[in-house]
Amino acid sequence: MAVPKRRTSRANTRHRRAQWKATAPTLTPCPCPRRETVVPHRACPHCGLYQGRQILDVP
C-alpha cells in the first residue's frame, strides 16, 4: 500500500478542496396549474401529483 513520504501542505490541501462545488438541485415544473417547482422523480408535495397521476393525499 502506498504511503506518502511527506505531509500535504495546507495550501495544496485547500487548493484541492476548492474544486469541490455544491450545485443547486435540478427543479422541474409540476404539471398542476400552480406550476410549482419540484425535484425530478418525486411526487409534488403541494398537490401530490407524480407523472400526471394523484399519488399523495394532500389536504
27-51 pLDDT, tens per residue? 999 888 888 899 999 999 888 988 8
Residue 58 lies in a domain: yes
Q: Which residue has the cell 485547500?
A: 14
- Taking 90 as the threshold, does the pLDDT of residue 58 lie above it? no
State the pLDDT confidence band at 1, using cuts at 50, 70 and 90. Answer: confident
49-50 and 28-29 beta bridge pairing: unpaired
The C-alpha atoms of residue 36 and residue 38 are separated, in whole angstroms, by 6
The answer to whether residues 59 and 46 touch, using CB atoms and an 8 Å cutoff, is no
pTM of the model: 0.54
Contacts (Cβ under 8 Å, ≥6 apart) of 31: 49, 52
Q: Give how many domains the chain has, as a whole number.
A: 1
State the pLDDT confidence band at 11, using cuts at 50, 70 and 90. Answer: very high
Residue 3 lies in a domain: no
Residue 10 lies in a domain: no
- Taking 80 as the threshold, does the pLDDT of residue 59 lie above it? no
Residue 45 lies in a domain: yes
